[in-house]
Structure 1
Amino acid sequence: LQLSERYGPVFTIHLGRQRTVVLTGLAAVREALVGTGQALADRPPIAIFQLIQQGGGIFFSSGARWRAARQFTVRTLHSLGVGRWPLTDKVLQELKCLVGQLDSFGGRPFPLALLGWAPSNVTFALLFGQRFDYQDPVFVSLLGLIDEVMVLLGSPGLQLFNMYPWLGALLQLHRPVLRKIEEIRAILRTLLAAPRPLKPGGNPVQSYVDALTQQGQGDDPQGLFAEANAVACTLDMVMAGTETTSATLQWATLLMARHPDVQGRVQEELDRVLGPGRPPRPEDQDALPYTRAVLHEVQRYITLLPDVPRCAAADIQLGGYLLPKGTPVIPLLTSVLLDKTQWQTPDQFNPGHFLDADGQFVKREAFLGPCGCPGIGASRTPAPG
């Protein structure tokens, strides 16, 4: 952000030997995320993810394999009810389990990780066709390993490895995270191989893993759905589908504690609109403008994913500059979500950013997120409350 004040909204930085174009501000970032189509859909080569996924998976791959995996994932999630009523029921079922866990503490402090159990279980139900008991050793192990991997991926050692892979390999900086990833893979292979009984109706596809298995048994001359890529896709879905939503829920709880006046207004609105004992449903959103504004402001304020690197799949024009094919690009979402020209109080938690003069919810042009996320429908399905 400081560099953009000196060099403007489009400039180049050097991450080790890799020249990377950074885009800042609403106009430049929106042009990149919305106005380029598939020309900026590829991912740049990131050393640690190349080692982990070997070009497979959904989020850090490019080309034909990536397109096939992504199209398959979007199609499968839609068929499983993401963004529609079937997933809403799963979310409300999980919410009931979470409330029961919170009530069991009787108002005493509870472990922060508990807030990640419910959204993670919704993801696991989609992936594996079943929810897990919160004390299930597989469930506990998987979430613990995901947390450890996320911490390692953000460590200075891994950043150094990504910028100077030869030096990182010499210093063995990548070994700890690879060991943890292999432990996760072992669990995923077991879950992939586990027999899943047919549910009433006889539909063989009850989960993402079922669909992957069925696809791999069909005509697959390029091996896009062989075991290695099936594990890679599931690994991506597990990592991306648990940590982001769990962290957002934890941040929301912290912000409610820090701002009891906001918490009080949300509770009053929920009590008035829903009444006692009725869980929220997606169709209630229009009647809950303040609660909806708070949920949006949480995501804006925490800027959980400040940037998602892209790579030019073809020569493109951005911000008046020609970017050759293969150029890594960072659309800096933080520069939009904290832009002083777009938000009245960008550095403060202020639900008023999403309310008009009459207290009604308003969409904001500067509320941008990582476009193209296959699980966006799942992350938005959980109703307020």
Structure 2
Amino acid sequence: MDLSGATPLLLMAALFCLALYWNGGKRKKGKLPPGPAPLPIFGNLFQLDPREMHRSLEKLSKQYGPVYTIHLGSLPCVVLCGYLAVKEALVDQADDFSDRGDFPVFYRFTQGNGIAFSNGEKWKILRRFALHTLKNFGMGKSSIEARIQEEAQCLVQEFQKTDGAPFNPINLVCRAVSNVICAVVFGNRFDYEDADFLRLLDHFNENFQIMSSFWGELYNIFPHVMDLLPGPHHKIFQNFEKLRHFITERIRLHQKDLDPEAPRDFIDCFLIRMEEEKQDPLSYFNMETLVMTTHNLFFGGTETTSTTLRFSFLILMKYPDVAVRVHQEIDGVIGTNRTPCLADRKSMPYTDAVIYEIQRFISILPMGLPRAVTRDTPFKEFLLPKGTNVIPLLSSVHYDPTQFKDPMSFNPDHFLDEKSTFKNTDAFMPFAPGKRICLGAGLARMEIFLFLTTILQHFSLQPLVAPAEIDLTPQCTGLGNVPRPFQFRVLPR
């Protein structure tokens, strides 16, 4: 690990951290798995590379096994590495591993509020409400399929305007993907040139990148210290406040013309529930929860899907033989005149396998989001005290050689049987398994298929460099794997 640039920061961290952490790491009763011996204050920081945290954790598992304890600062975390360890915890003992673990970079903003970062009864009630409401507004139904198809056509029109000139797809793809969740949450889509909308997406993109960087990882290890030190991590919280303001203004507009008999979207439904429970001092339905829940849905419904699509473009350009076969399947099943639909997927096993392999290969959230155990939990020969943080290494599942024949290579055959029929596997976990599976997993699957097939129906993707020169290694990796910026051409087929 190259610490030359981080040494002054770490020295300052030691001074501030001493008082804050010296007594903060008192062990709870229990029996945690063994792991590398931690240093006071710093824990196992010097055995980790915050620029590639998941790689460091995977490397340590070769020495300490698939289940071991790492100390991030003074915080002990149990690491789960490989398919069997992750499955045994998050699936076989799903209830025990269903709390959200410590995530300081989000907690400072959410304070444990909203769907993604709440726990206990509050989380159960909010998740149940969100699932029911989103279903009523088309999630998983033909109405949301039509919405995605419409937005995919808008994206095609924007691509056509480039007239074969090189461009970076990040902004257009983010606008298209975000508009789908906007229609569900806010009740309307935004014009691609709407200034407020563009600023909102800029904040999301910037936050995802910083949180996936060295600075974001360091903040999660030493949050109290990093609050006192200069650096780009402070931009995260400035952007969060701007996002809060945007969402709050949208909620106020909804309040002005709310019709309890005809809710238009998720925000309306939440406001109606707030009114119904306004006399209950213990109600979880209040303005702050609405703001945080809306943010969770908006962030989750934009960043990971748009990032997956950008990676998809890069991968298809790097492996043109794969792209040719996908084009052939699109031409044979869909043709050139009608819009792709979800029903086509059953007749397109190779395209389906390519999409699954892209998600496996990029492992968009390599460490998932941290979990915590809901009670004192027996696990294997250990006893994890209630509240113990758990890091499920999803990247280690996707690259597990016991589950995938050649995990280091991009190979759609990982999801095809000997008859070239699509086959799924329980080791495919891009949305995290168990009780905390991504709320929008179904929507994301629909979007990736419909956006990608619609683009490829109309265009061939042309890189500006030779395919061998296309670099698939992330620009940064932490919360997520973020692709390197790139330009390409889209040529009409």
Shorter-normalised TM-score: what interval?
Answer: over 0.9
- The C-alpha deviation readout for 1:63-82, integer Å capped at 9, x for no partner, is 22222221111111111111
Higher mean C-alpha deviation, range 1-10 or range 44-53: 44-53
1:340 paired with 2:416, answer: no
- Partner residue, 2:329: 269
- Partner residue, 2:224: 166
TM-score, scaled to structure 2: 0.75
Structure 1: runs of 5 or more not aligned: none
Question: What is the deviation of 1:223?
Answer: 4.0
Aligned CA distance change for structure 1 residues 52 and 154 (closer, same or farther; 3 Å): same
| Separation of aligned partners in 2, 1:11 and 1:238 | 34
1:359 paired with 2:420, answer: yes
1:304 paired with 2:333, answer: no
Q: Name the aligned partner's letter for residue 419 of structure 2.
A: D
**Matched residue of 2:99: which SS?**
coil
Structure 2: runs of 5 or more not aligned: 1-57, 454-493
| Separation of aligned partners in 2, 1:297 and 1:130 | 33
Within 5 Å, give how 1:185-334 maps onto structure 2: 185-195=244-254, 204-220=262-278, 221=280, 222-307=282-367, 308-334=369-395
- Partner residue, 2:101: 44
Contact 1:10 1:319 in 2 (8 A): no
Question: What is the deviation of 1:175?
Answer: 3.2
Task: Name the larger-Rg structure.
Answer: 2
**Matched residue of 2:301: which SS?**
helix
1:91 paired with 2:148, answer: yes
- Partner residue, 1:122: 180
**Matched residue of 1:204: which SS?**
coil
Aligned CA distance change for structure 1 residues 196 and 219 (closer, same or farther; 3 Å): closer
Higher mean C-alpha deviation, range 370-379 or range 293-302: 370-379
Q: Name the aligned partner's letter for residue 278 of structure 1.
A: R
Contact 1:336 1:366 in 2 (8 A): yes
**Matched residue of 1:381: which SS?**
helix
- The C-alpha deviation readout for 1:92-121, integer Å capped at 9, x for no partner, is 010110001111111211222212221111
| Separation of aligned partners in 2, 1:33 and 1:344 | 24
Within 5 Å, give how 1:55-70 maps onto structure 2: 55-70=112-127
- Partner residue, 1:136: 194
Question: What is the deviation of 1:317?
Answer: 2.4
Higher mean C-alpha deviation, range 105-114 or range 327-336: 105-114
- Partner residue, 1:148: 206
Question: What is the deviation of 1:196?
Answer: 8.4
Contact 2:80 2:392 in 1 (8 A): yes
- Partner residue, 2:440: 375
| Separation of aligned partners in 2, 1:88 and 1:39 | 35
- Partner residue, 1:20: 77
Question: What is the deviation of 1:172?
Answer: 5.2
Q: Name the aligned partner's letter for residue 310 of structure 1.
A: R
Total equivalences in the alignment: 384
Aligned CA distance change for structure 1 residues 6 and 352 (closer, same or farther; 3 Å): same
Q: Name the aligned partner's letter for residue 69 of structure 1.
A: L
**Matched residue of 2:105: which SS?**
helix
| Separation of aligned partners in 1, 2:260 and 2:116 | 32
**Matched residue of 2:227: which SS?**
helix
- Partner residue, 2:477: none
**Matched residue of 2:77: which SS?**
strand
Aligned-pair identity in percent equals: 37
| Separation of aligned partners in 2, 1:125 and 1:290 | 31
| Separation of aligned partners in 1, 2:256 and 2:376 | 49
| Separation of aligned partners in 2, 1:125 and 1:53 | 23
| Separation of aligned partners in 2, 1:149 and 1:277 | 39
| Separation of aligned partners in 2, 1:258 and 1:157 | 30
| Separation of aligned partners in 2, 1:320 and 1:213 | 47
